[in-house]
């Protein structure tokens, strides 16, 4: 059985002024950059990743991140609201499911009891056979 390790996802660092900057992390299992310049490319060492960070596409991505910081914050707040709403919905659905499972168990038990009771009644109503005849 082969164990495959997943690469890390690159996240640019933030300097003291709140600006996104490239800072090469320690690469152990490879790293994937989500800038989109080379889709599904995994960099397996720091020197290859450093060359990538100098590319025009990666630099445009960093500029785009810096230009849209406020938008990302607003989007994050909206995502947090959606997550909370979804947690509530999942909780309600779990409660409904639990109630329905209890109802199903109760009704199954009732049906089982009724069937066993009807079998007992049927066996008691069978005509007796006179063995002395």
Give the pLDDT confidence of 43-88 residue by residue, as tens digits: 989 999 999 999 999 999 999 999 988 888 889 999 999 999 999 9
- Residue 37, pLDDT > 90, answer no
Question: Are the C-beta atoms of 53 and 24 separated by less than 8 Å?
Answer: yes
Alpha helices in the chain (DSSP H): 46-53, 56-67, 69-125
Tally of CB atoms within 10 A around 93:
10
Name which of 21-30, 89-98, 108-117 the model is least confident about: 108-117
Q: Residue 1: its pLDDT value, please?
A: 55
pLDDT at 51: 93
Q: Which string of DSSP letters, residue by residue, matches 28-60?
A: SS-EE-TTSSSTT-EE-SHHHHHHHHTSHHHHH
Global pTM reads 0.58
Report the share of the chain in percent with pLDDT over 90. 54
Distance in angstroms between the alpha carbons of the first and the last residue of the chain: 76
């Amino acid at each position: 059985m082969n164990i495959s390790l997943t690469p890390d996802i690159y996240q640019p660092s933030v300097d003291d002024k709140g600006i996104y900057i490239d800072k090469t992390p320690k690469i152990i299992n490879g790293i994937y950059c989500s800038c989109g310049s080379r889709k599904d490319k995994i960099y397996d060492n720091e020197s290859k990743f450093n060359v990538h960070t100098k590319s025009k596409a990666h630099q445009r991505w960093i500029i785009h991140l810096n230009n849209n910081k406020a938008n990302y914050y607003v989007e994050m707040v909206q995502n947090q609201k959606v997550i909370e709403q979804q947690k509530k919905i999942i909780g309600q659905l779990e409660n409904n499911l639990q109630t329905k499972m209890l109802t199903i168990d109760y009704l199954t038990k009732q049906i089982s009891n009724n069937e066993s009771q009807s079998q007992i009644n049927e066996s008691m109503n069978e005509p007796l056979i006179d063995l002395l005849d």
